[in-house]
Structure 1
Amino acid sequence: MKHCWASFLLLLLLVGCATQPQSHPERLGLRLAPETLGISIARQQHLKVEREGRVDELNVALEIDSSHLEMVGLAFGQRVLSLHYDGKELHSWRHVMLPAQVHAEDVLEDVQLTLWPEQAIASALPSGWTIEDAGLQRTLYLDGKPVTVIHYQALPHWSSPTVVLENLRYRYRLTIQSVPAGP
C-alpha cells in the first residue's frame, strides 16, 4: 500500500507541477492538432521532475500520429494516467486516488511545447504569449517575461534523446529521456 501512495504522490508532482496556482489566472491553454506535429512518433520515455528539492520519476509510453496523441503513464508498474487527444477532444483517465488538481490539459501542453514545431505553437498562442526558438533552446514568454525554457540535445526537437523543460513560473524542472528501442 505504501508503494501505491508513493505512485499517486509521484504522479501528482509530475502532472500537478504544471497545474497553475490560483494566484496566476493566465493559462496558456495550448491544444494543437496532432497532424501539426508533421511526423508520427512512438517513444518510451523516462520522466524526472524536480521541484522544491524533491525528485520524482515516471515511465511513459507516447504515440503521436496525424489523427491522435496517446499517452500512458506508469508508476511502479501500475497505470496511473492515460490521455487520448484527437485534435478536438481530450479524454483522460487517472487512478481514482489522484487528486482533482491533476490536469490532463497541463500534461498535453508540456508535451506539445517540447515536441511541436515553433510555427505551429506560435500560430496558436493567445495574446501576450510569444515563443522563440534558438536551435537547441526554446523559450516561451508571457508579456515579454520568460515563463518556460526548454533545452534539447538534438534537432529536430522531437528526435532529442534528452529534453529539459524548466518552468520558471511554477518552479519545476522536467527531464524527459527517451528510452532506446531494443535491438
Structure 2
Amino acid sequence: MEIQFKNTVIEAVQGDITRETTDVIVNAANSSLLGGGGVDGAIHRAGGPEILEECQKIRARQGGCATGEAVITTAGRLPARYVVHTVGPVWNGGSNGEDNLLHNCYLNSLALANDHGATSISFPNISTGIYGYPKSQAADVAIQAIKEYVQLSGKGHMQRIRFVCYDAENLALYEQKLEQAFQQS
C-alpha cells in the first residue's frame, strides 16, 4: 500500500528489512549497540562487522544510545547506504512515557537520516517484538510521528518512507491505520 502525502510517499510492505534498497534502514537496537536478537541481530549479521565496529566507536565516545535516541553507522554489506540505530522503549503498561519515547525514535531517526542527505528510509515495527509494545498502539504512534515529520518538513527532503512489516498481520494493521490516518488529511 502506498500513500502520497505532500511530497512524500509513505508505504507499508511485507518483507525483510535487511534487503531494503532505501538510503537508510532503521535498526530497532538495544542501548548497548552491540547487536542482539530480532531485527537488531539480523541487521548486524547481514551487514557484517563494519556495523559493529562503528557501533563500538559510538559506545566508546558516548556510552551507547538512550531510549528514544538514534545514532547512524555505515550499512556494511547491506543494500542501504546507512543504518540508523534507535532504541525503542520496553512496554511497561503505558504509564512510563512509552508513547513519547517511541515517537522520538521515529522523529530522531528521520532527522538523522535527513542530516545525512537521505531521501528514503525503511522502518521496522520498533519495540513490538521482545520489548512487548502492543502492535496496534505502536503503529498509531509510528504513523503519527511520520505524519508530523512530513507536515513540518519544509526542512527535509524525505521522498519515501517505508514501514517494513515482517508478517502479514502487521502489514494488514499498518495498511488499515495508514488509510485511516491519511484519509482525514
TM-score above 0.5, yes or no = no
Q: Which has the higher helix share?
A: 2
| TM-score, reference length from structure 2 | 0.30
Q: Which has the higher strand share?
A: 1
